[in-house]
Amino acid sequence: MKKYLLFILFLFSFSTLVHAEQYKEGVNYAAIEPQPTETGKNIEVLEFFWYGCPHCYHFEPYISQWNKTKPANVTFIRIPAVFRPSWKVQARAYYALLDMGVIEQVHDKIFDAIHKNHQRLDTEHDMANFLATQGIDKQKFIEAYNSFSVDTQMRKGIKKLTAYKVDGVPAVFVNGKYKLSGQMAGSYENLIKILNYLIKKESKHTSASKR
């Protein structure tokens, strides 16, 4: 019986080792030049995205579901990418809705409006009118959209985009150390698995550093 239990334990340990080794740095994810994080003791996960990006649209259900069940020691932050001046409208809209505390109410709806319903939400006027149909106070949105707070967040977001050397979206970064993309992961489902693997890796590193 004892030998049997030891055999089962060996198989479990071997299985865990194989699972851990299937994700390789430089193959499934990339190490980057370390960047400062802003989440204190929590592990920081950043997602750079653009509402107009079809890849971001298809990735959204995966990252959204993960966000609902992520570990308690993880803080998730979305950053709207601005590669072109025309992307600023949707980035400002995201920050305005974040400040208003209603982003989760309409985040998916903005994606659907653009990709499913083929609506052009690339002007302040069009975005404000669309959000009004979703129960968002139009005047409050316009005030938030043009606020100093949104100006500040835009500058901060663009600075991070440059610092992280983001060259495409969606792009996910773990604790200022690792970059994940659908291309490297092979699929969005696998990207989430690698994300969880790196979070566990960082959690162990954080725990060890406290000893």
d(CA 133, CA 86): 23
Chunk the chain into consecutive blocks of 10 residues (it has 211) and report each block's average pLDDT, rounded to whole numbers.
Answer: 46 45 90 96 97 98 97 97 97 98 98 97 98 98 98 98 97 98 96 98 73 48
**pLDDT for 22:** 82
What is the 3-state composition of the chain as percent helix, strand, coil, each rounded to the nearest 5? 60, 10, 30
Q: Enter the DSSP assignment of 30.
A: E
Q: How far apart are the first and last CA of the chain?
A: 37
Rg (CA), the chain: 20
Query: Are the CB atoms for 210 and 202 separated by under 8 Å?
Result: no
Tokens for 72, please give them: 């308690």
CA angle 57, 44, 96 (to 5 degrees): 55
Angle at 145 between CA 142 and CA 149, to 5 degrees: 135
Contacts of 92 (CB under 8 A, 6+ apart): 124, 145, 150, 154
Say what the pLDDT of residue 208 is.
57
pLDDT at 42: 97
Give the integer Cα–Cα distance in Å for 187 and 198. 16
SS3 183: helix
Secondary structure (3-state) at 45: strand
Determine the Cα–Cα distance for residues 74 and 60; give it in Å rounded to an integer. Answer: 18
Distance CA 32, CA 176 (A): 8
Q: What is the pLDDT of residue 55?
A: 98
User: What pLDDT is stored for residue 9 in this prediction?
Assistant: 43
Fold of 29-209: Glutaredoxin (3.40.30)
**pTM, entire model:** 0.88
pLDDT digits (tens, 9 = 90+) for 22-75: 899 999 999 999 999 999 999 999 999 999 999 999 999 999 999 999 999 999
Per-domain residue ranges of the chain: 29-209
How many other CB atoms sit within 10 Å of the CB of residue 23? 16
pLDDT at position 1 is 53
